[in-house]
Chain A
Amino acid sequence: MLGDTTQNLALILWQLSPELILLLTGLIILLVDAIRPHQADQGWSPYAALAGLVVALVACITLLGQPPATVLAVLTLDGLALVAKILALVSVGMVALFSGPYMQEHSRHQGAFYALLIFATLAITLVAGASNLVLIFLAVDFLSITSYILTGYLREDRRSSEAAIKYFLYGAALSAMMLYGMSLLFGLTGATDLHAIAAQLGAGTTEHVTVLLAMLFVMAGLGFKVAAVPFHQWAPDAYEGAPTPVTAFLSLGPKVAGFAVLARFLLFALPQFQVDWTTLLLSLSAMTMTGGNLIAIWQKNIKRLLAYSSIAQAGYLMIGLVAVSGGGLASLLFYLAVYLFANLGAFAVVLAMSRGELGEQIEDYAGLSQRSPGLALAMLLFLLSLAGIPPLAGFVGKVNLFVAAVNEGLIWLVVVGVLNSVISLYYYLQVVRQIYLLPPTSEEPVSIPRPITTTLLIATAGVLVLGIYPSLLLPLIETAVQAFFGG
C-alpha cells in the first residue's frame, strides 16, 4: 500500500514537475532578490528565470510520450496541454532573454519582475492543463493579475500605470462575466469537471438557451484574454503603455493560454453543441481578423501596430478553433509556434531600437537597412512571416489553418482569411517602407546587446526553418494531439 502511494506520489510529482519547477524558480528569485542588498547588480535575475524555464521545458518534453492522464482530478495532461506549455515556456524564455537590457535601463526592481514573469508562466501552464471550471477560473485570474502588475511595472511611467489600470478594469469586468457563465454551467449540470459537464449536457438538457448564454459569458472572458474582437479594446493601450518586454509577453502568453482552454472547452465540454459554435466562432474570427487589420493601417506607433496585428493574428488562430474537430487543433498549435517566432522576433527588434524615448514610432525605423542591414533583414522576415508570405513560416501556418477550415466546409472564412492577409501586408509594408525605402535620419549602426542578438537568431531561424521545412514540427504536433481524435 505504502509502495503504491509512494509510486503514485512520484508519478504526480513528475506530471506536475513543470508547474512545481516554475513555482520553485519564482520563489527562489523572490527570495534571493529580497535578501540581496538593494543596490546590488540584478543582472542575474533574467538568467535565473531562463534556467527555471529551461528545466521546466525539459520536464515537459519528458512527459510528451505519455498517454493522456488526469492529475489530481482537476488537471489533464495530454498533447494539447503539453504543446501549449512548451509554447508558453519557449515564449517566456525568449522574453526573459531579450528583456534584460531594457529592464536594467528602466527599472530598479528586476528580481521581482522576473519572479512575476515566472508566476505568470506558471499560471499559463495551469490554464493549459485545467479541465475543471474552478481551476480554469483561478488560473486565468492568476494570469490576469500577474499580467496587470507586469503591465504597470514601471511605476514612474504614467503610460505604464494607465495601461495597467485600463487592463485591470476591463479584465475585472470580463472576469466576473466569465465566472457568472461558469456558475450558470455549474447550476445547470451540477458539475465543475468539463467531462462531467459534457455528460450532463449530452444527456439532454432542457435549458439550451441558458447553456448558450453561459458559454457566451465564458467565451467573453476567454476572448478578452486572447484579445479577440469585440473584447480587444484594452489591448492597444495596454500594449503601448506596458514596458516593451511585457508587451511581448502579453502578445504570446495569454494567447497560448486562452486558445488552449478554449479548445479544451470546445472539445471536452461541448461536443454536441458544435453546430452553434461554428457560426459564432466564425463571425468572431472574421470580425477579429478584419477589425484588427483595418485599424492597424492607421497606426504610427510600432507597439500599437503590433498590438492590432496581434489582435488580427488571434483571428487567424480562431479559424483553427472553428475547425477544431477536424485537424484544426494541430494547425492552431502550429500557427501559435510560427506566430511566436515572428512576433517575438519583431519585439526583439523593437527592443534593439529602443534607446531612451526613441524606437517606438514607425518613422524611427527610417533607413534601418542602411544603418544595420542584419537587423533590417530580420525585421523584414518577421513582418513577412506575420503577413503569411512564403517561403516563411507564416505562409505554411496559414495554409494549414485554411486547409483545416476547407475540410470543415468553411470556404468563405478562408476567403476572408486570405484577403485579410493582403490587407495586413499593407501595414507591414509600411514598416518595411521605412526600413528599406526611406533614407536614414542618423548614419550610425544600431548597437544591439548580445541577448537580443541571440533572440533574433533564434527567431530568424524559426521563421525560415519552419517555412522551408515545416515537417520538423508539424508531425510532432499532429501526433501529440492525435489522442483527441481516437488515435
Chain B
Amino acid sequence: MRGVPWLCGALAVIPVFVHAETRPKYAGTVEATLLGAPALDPLAARTHADATAVALVFDTLYRIGPDGIAVPHLAVGEPVLDEKGTTVRIAIRKGVRFHDGTALEPRDVAASLERVRAKEKWLLAPVTAVGVDGDAITLSLRAPVADLTELLALPQTAVTKSGKAPGAKPIGSGPYAVDSIDPTLHRMQLRAFEDHFAGRPYVDLMLRWYDTPDGEVRKFETGAAQISARGVTAFPGAQPTYRAERLHVPAWVLEFVGFGQGHAAVTGDRAFRRALDLAIARGGLATINSGEDVVPVKTPLPGAPALPAPALAGELDAARAEVAKVPALAPDRIGAVKLEILVEDTRPDDRELAERVARALDQLGIATTIAAVPAADLRDRVAKGKADLWIGQLAEPFGFADAWWGAAFAVGGDDWPAAQLASGSLDPAAAAKAFADREPIVPLVFRGLELWHRSDVRGLSYDGFGRPCYADMFYFGVPVRTKP
C-alpha cells in the first residue's frame, strides 16, 4: 500500500529533475542525522533520537501520522471493544517477521505490553491485563480509554522479541535491521529489511550523531551526508555546495532540567526546584538554535503561548526567597554545595542550556560544574540516582497532551499521572497544578524540528512525532551543485 505513494512521488519528480537525475536508485546508502545518541530499547525511548531509532527498528501496533491521527500498523484494524468498553481485542497482522526471520506472534506483542505495564506505569495505566486470543491480543481496561490507539503508538510500546529488552544488537520487526552500532564513532548502520511487512525500504541508512554543532554541517556541506538537522545555518552567509531543501516539521521536543538523587537534600527540595525555575532567564533561551523555532516554556505541554520577556529582577528576588527556604542551602552551608549538571555529549545545544542553568544557579549563589557525558552514561547515572541535575529531552506526539504530562512526570520520577490515567485520561488543569506544585522537572524550551536534505533525496516525510520516515525515502544519488 505504501509502495503506491513512492511510485507516484517518483514519477512526479522525474520530469522535474530529468536534466540532472535519470531514475531513482533502488539501493544505496543515505547518511542522515540523529539529534543525539539513541537508545535502542523501546522502553527507554525519551528523546527524539530514541523515538526515531526505535521507529526504524521496531514496529508498534499503531502509528501516528503527520495529521496526528493514529492508524493501524502491526494491528490489523481499530481496537474492538466489548459492550462495557472495558475489554479490547486487537487483531495482529499475520506474516510479520523479526529481522532474524522468526515470526512475530501475538504473544510477543502481549509480552511487550506487559513489560511496559510493569516498568512505565503511567503509559498503560488503564490496562489491568494483557492476554492473547488467537491472532489477537486482549486488553482489560479499568475504564474506557479514549486515546488507546495513540498510547499504543508510543515508541515505548514497540514490540520486541518475547517482550524482552533488546540486546547489544537489537532485533525488531521494523523496516530496518541493525547492521552495526559504533558508539565511539557515533554511527549506526541500518540495513533495509527485505521482509518488512510494509515492503522493503528504498535505501539503506547510515545514522550519525555529533558532539559539535558544526560537525554535522561539515558533513552536509562536503556532500558526505545527504540529510542534516542543521543544514547550512551554522555557516552564516555560506552558500551550500549542493542544492538543498529545508523541511519544516510540525513537531516539538521538550528540553528540561531533570533532578537526580545526588545532593538529594538540595535537588529534592521543591523550594530549590521552584527557585531554579524562577531564576532561569528563559528569554535568552530562544537564541539557542540553529534556525529552528525555540520557545521558552514553563510547562511540558507544546503549543502554549511563548513566555513574555521576564521581569528578571522580580523573579530573581522570588528565587532567592525560595532558596532561603532550603535547609541544605542555609547561608553557612551553601558554600559547600556544588552541583553537577550532566549533559549528553552528542547534543551540543544541551550544553548551552546547561550554561544557562548554571548561570541561574550562580545568581542564587550555588556553584555548579557542567559535565558532558555519553548518552548511555547519562541514562545510567540518572537511573541509578547518581546525578544532581541533568538536561533531558522528551519527544511525544504533538497533539497528545496525556503523553506529554505522563512522560514529564515519569521522567522526573513522579508517578502522579498513573493514578489519573488509570481512569482513562488526565484533567489538564489538575495536571498543570500538580506539575507546578510537584516540579518533577523544570521545562526550559520546546524546540521545533527541521531537516535539510539534498535535492536528490526525495520522498522524505514525518510522522506525528516529527520523526523522519526514512523507510519512505528514495534517492537519486546525483546531487546538484550550486557552485561551479
Do A and B originate from a single complex? no
Residues of B within 8 A of A (CB): none
Residues of A within 8 A of B (CB): none
